[in-house]
Chain A
Amino acid sequence: MSASADFSHDRADGGGVLRFTGNLSLAHVGDLPERLGEVDGPVSRIDLSQVDRIDTVGAWVVHRFARDRDVAIDGLNPDSQHLFDQVAAADDPVVRKEKSLSPPLRVLEEIGDAVSGSARQMLGLLGFMGATVLAFINVLRHPRRFRFNATVQRFEVVGVSALGIIGLMSFLIGMVIAQQGAVQLRQFGAEVFTINLIGRLTFRELGVLMTAIMVAGRSGSAFAAQLGTMKLTEEIDAMRTIGVSPMEALVLPRVIAAIVMMLLLGFYASIIAIIGGGLLSWAQLGIPPITFVTRIREVVPITDLYIGLIKAPVFGAIIGMAGCFHGMQVESDAEQVGSRTTAAVVQAIFLVIVLDAFFAIFFAWIGWI
């Protein structure tokens, strides 16, 4: 069919003529650009009259050669003349990508960027928490502006739909604690303290902490992705122009749902974990459920429950605010929705664990040991 592009260098009549033949197009150009670069000797004229077909790539390659060597082009029909004019008009060097710094400098730059970025982010989150509190106070003063339906709907999404997965997770965690506790404590002949371990650990720490991690992964990420997408599609801007405050309509219902549901889910998770641990104790240690429950009531002080229930809503607030904050930070493109969602989850879990450590010290300090 169509021959691939080729050329011959005819030095006969004085100056030298480059005659192109074949199909000067992207699919057939082959190594012609390289060979063209190796042409030496004088070239005074380029003859294209024997070319079958030419497209912009062929035209570009020839144009570049003609431009560099300052050679005239002959044998063009009006259409290809037009093509050459267009390609020549578009001859303006374009950089593909901005030059980046040298590697050592880039490492420094990235470290600096990361540090200032996280500082800015923490400040931003702090500001956002303030804005959420202000919005909350505002709603308290004008209760009619509270979005009751939206909040209840969030309750369902954040809380009710999570019951299954959080229940299963807590049940397994309770069993693992019981099993590991039993194995370790048996060495001291203190298997019966497995019950203390299960009861205190789940109410005080693990029940709430694991629930927080699960809620951050499930709902914190969803908040960030939802708000981020709404930001991209200008829904949030539209809301503002109508006079609806996104803080009241979008952020508050989500944060309130996260707070309330963390409280309930944290308690639920602790109970399920105790059930899991109790079942394993029954099966492995032969402790009947009734004894297990009595022991739990004896060894777990009520303050352990209080500690869990105090921590849970704080964690919920952190998760809800981090999710909404990062969602609202999305600005330009779809990629940001992804990175902001990740940031929301990572930041929420990080803050939850840091706060948990502070809580542990605080409660020990006030004597709730």
Chain B
Amino acid sequence: MSEQEFLIRVRGLKNQFGDQVIHENLDLDVRRGEILGVVGGSGTGKSVLMRSIIGLQTPAAGTIEVFGENTIGREETEATEIRKKWGVLFQGGALFSTLTVAENVQVPLKEFYPKLKPALLDEIAGYKVVMTGLPANAGPKYPSELSGGMKKRAGLARALALDPQLLFLDEPTAGLDPIGAAAFDDLTASLQKTLGLTVFLITHDLDTLHAICDRVAVLADKKVIAVGTIDELLALDHPWIQEYFNGPRGRAATDAQDRIAARDHDRDAGNDPASLQAQRR
């Protein structure tokens, strides 16, 4: 039953471009229903790892199983059953520039379910667009008319078009303002909860890691050096991990998380500042 427990199993993965080895003997498991954050310095091959898993990059060695099926060396036309079950959000959104946002969302639907009626297709595209936090009038817009953050949301709407079980997000909050990034985190978490999603999340955003990730995988020295909750990782004595989570930004994110937790706790206890003031009046 291991394939039920682990949606993604990577074993002994090796990737190299020319002489440059990106991954060597990399192992990684992603459990069903978790949000796994993947972190690592620039150039450690986070995106390459994702591309290997979704079959855009053929590794030099190793095995990759997604939903219990090998994805290496498959032709693009093969493995459509697996492709139906995942959605991918690329860094820049990767929207099709000749289609409107709503049409972009419909592309996977039309591809995999050609029998859907146009009216229902339009409705599905509609609620997906609104669900990802875009205004309704963004539907008929072309990608070139959208801001960076809106492109990401539109990309997410397309990634979610098929109600996938597995979602790959490549730096979803990079380039978003803090409010937008927090909203994106909330969105990811609530979608994960309602749809039972498994999320493979590449990020540099420490707030995102603290807020929504169940486990974090750290990429360094050409492999995954550690996987675990942030607390577990903090207990490790690896210089990069310590620097990452205990550096000035890491601490700020931890503090912010503590403050949020404290505020929520206060509010639950009925004594948050706003209600206290109200009582005084």
Given contacts A34-B117, A57-B163, A332-B144, are A93 and B97 in contact (CB under 8 A)? no
Q: Mark A61-97, 1 if CB is under 8 A from B, else 0.
A: 1001000000000000001101100110111111111
Q: Does A298 count as interface, using CB distance less than 8 angstroms? A: no
Given contacts A82-B190, A96-B102, are A55 and B163 in contact (CB under 8 A)? yes
Judge whether B195 and A55 touch: CB under 8 Å: yes
Given contacts A94-B102, A94-B136, A333-B144, are A64 and B190 in contact (CB under 8 A)? no
Q: Does A196 count as interface, using CB distance less than 8 angstroms? A: no
Given contacts A56-B131, A79-B193, A86-B194, are A97 and B97 in contact (CB under 8 A)? no
CA–CA, A79 and B122, complex, Å: 25
- Shortest C-beta distance, B131 to chain A (Å), equals 4
- Shortest C-beta distance, A17 to chain B (Å), equals 24
Q: Does A40 count as interface, using CB distance less than 8 angstroms? A: no
Contacts of A25 in B (CB 8 A): 163
| CB neighbors of A among B63-113 (8 A) | 84, 97-98, 100, 102-103, 106, 109, 113
Judge whether B128 and A56 touch: CB under 8 Å: yes
Judge whether A60 and B123 touch: CB under 8 Å: yes
Judge whether A93 and B120 touch: CB under 8 Å: no
Judge whether A87 and B127 touch: CB under 8 Å: yes
Judge whether A33 and B120 touch: CB under 8 Å: yes
Contacts of A60 in B (CB 8 A): 123-124, 127
- Shortest C-beta distance, A188 to chain B (Å), equals 57
Judge whether A57 and B140 touch: CB under 8 Å: no
Question: Contacting B100 at CB < 8 Å: which of A83, A93, A97, A333?
Answer: A97
Interface size grouping (class) on chain A: 20 to 34
* Residue from the set B128, B142, B163, B193 with the largest chain A CB neighbour count within 10 Å: B163
Given contacts A26-B163, A27-B84, A334-B97, are A95 and B123 in contact (CB under 8 A)? no
Q: Does B129 count as interface, using CB distance less than 8 angstroms? A: yes
Q: Does A38 count as interface, using CB distance less than 8 angstroms? A: no
Instruction: Count A/B pairs, Cβ under 8 Å.
Output: 95
CA–CA, A92 and B106, complex, Å: 17
- Shortest C-beta distance, A288 to chain B (Å), equals 57
Judge whether B97 and A92 touch: CB under 8 Å: no
Question: Contacting A26 at CB < 8 Å: which of B103, B113, B145, B194?
Answer: B113
Given contacts A27-B84, A95-B140, are A56 and B123 in contact (CB under 8 A)? no
- Shortest C-beta distance, B148 to chain A (Å), equals 13
Q: Does A98 count as interface, using CB distance less than 8 angstroms? A: yes
Q: Mark A122-136, 1 if CB is under 8 A from B, else 0.
A: 000000000000000
Q: Does A13 count as interface, using CB distance less than 8 angstroms? A: no
CA–CA, A56 and B122, complex, Å: 14
Q: Does B50 count as interface, using CB distance less than 8 angstroms? A: no
CA–CA, A26 and B191, complex, Å: 16
Q: Does B125 count as interface, using CB distance less than 8 angstroms? A: yes
Which single residue of chain A is at the shortest CB-CB distance from B113? A26
Contacts of B130 in A (CB 8 A): 89-92, 94
Given contacts A33-B117, A60-B124, are A93 and B136 in contact (CB under 8 A)? yes
Given contacts A56-B127, A56-B128, are A335 and B97 in contact (CB under 8 A)? yes
- Shortest C-beta distance, B208 to chain A (Å), equals 20
| CB neighbors of A among B133-165 (8 A) | 136-140, 142-145, 160, 162-163
Contacts of B196 in A (CB 8 A): 79
CA–CA, A96 and B120, complex, Å: 12
Given contacts A86-B194, A96-B125, are A56 and B140 in contact (CB under 8 A)? no
Judge whether B97 and A333 touch: CB under 8 Å: yes
Given contacts A96-B140, A333-B97, are A83 and B126 in contact (CB under 8 A)? no
A56-B131, A60-B127, A98-B140 given; name 17 further pairs at CB < 8 Å: A26-B162, A26-B163, A57-B124, A64-B123, A79-B193, A86-B131, A87-B127, A91-B127, A91-B130, A92-B127, A94-B126, A94-B130, A95-B137, A96-B102, A96-B125, A334-B97, A335-B97
**Which B residues are closer than 8 A to A by beta carbons?**
84, 97-98, 100, 102-103, 106, 109, 113, 117, 120, 122-131, 136-140, 142-145, 160, 162-163, 190-191, 193-196
